[in-house]
Amino acid sequence: MITLNINGKATRVDVEPDTPLLWVLRDTVQLTGTKYGCGMGLCGACTVHMDGEPVRSCSTPVSVAAGKKILTIEGVGHDRVGKAVQHAWQKLDVVQCGYCQSGQIMSAVALLEKNRKPTDADIDGAMDGNVCRCATYARIRAAIHEAANSLA
């Protein structure tokens, strides 16, 4: 048994230690907001936070997550930064198909937790590796600026 701290709740799972965290979240814990994209940590759809840092859950073994604080898209929005990002996403109508958006939001929240006044270059760096097949990158960047302004 492995104990995980997911969205502030201790959760025990009976899985192999090398099971990707993504599958534990989706299949074992039934938190399906985190998406499977490429399975190689390249697209960002599976991004969650581990001890405040964005990680690709498809390539993170669950054993690495044991004892760390895991935040998923289901846990975002309970604090000021998460609410600001979600509001900006809605206000600017960022989402098209929506598939990548949980990963995009997780990366944006991680950025704004550390940098409340990001430049375009800061945003591009933080969001690098988050692929949006609908190409809403300009709206994503605008929403991050909107969220940052609301936090100022």
**CA 67 to chain centroid:** 19
Give pLDDT, residue 112: 98
Residue 12 binned pLDDT confidence (cut-offs 50, 70, 90) = very high
State pLDDT tens for residues 100-141: 999 999 999 999 999 999 999 999 999 999 999 999 999 999
Alpha-carbon distance of 96 to 105, in angstroms, equals 14
What's the angle, vertex CA 60, arms to CA 78 and CA 43, rounded to 5?
Answer: 80
Residue 150 binned pLDDT confidence (cut-offs 50, 70, 90) = very high
For residue 77, is pLDDT > 90? no
Alpha-carbon distance of 2 to 15, in angstroms, equals 7
Give pLDDT, residue 8: 96
For the segment 7-29, the average pLDDT, to the nearest whole number, is: 97
Over the chain, what is the mean pLDDT? 96
Which domains does the chain carry?
2-75 (3.10.20.30), 80-151 (1.10.150.120)
Q: b or e along 140-150 (b: 16 or more beta carbons within 10 Å of the residue's beta carbon)?
A: bbbbbbbbbeb
Q: Read off the amino acid at residue 61.
A: P
Predicted TM-score of the model (pTM): 0.95
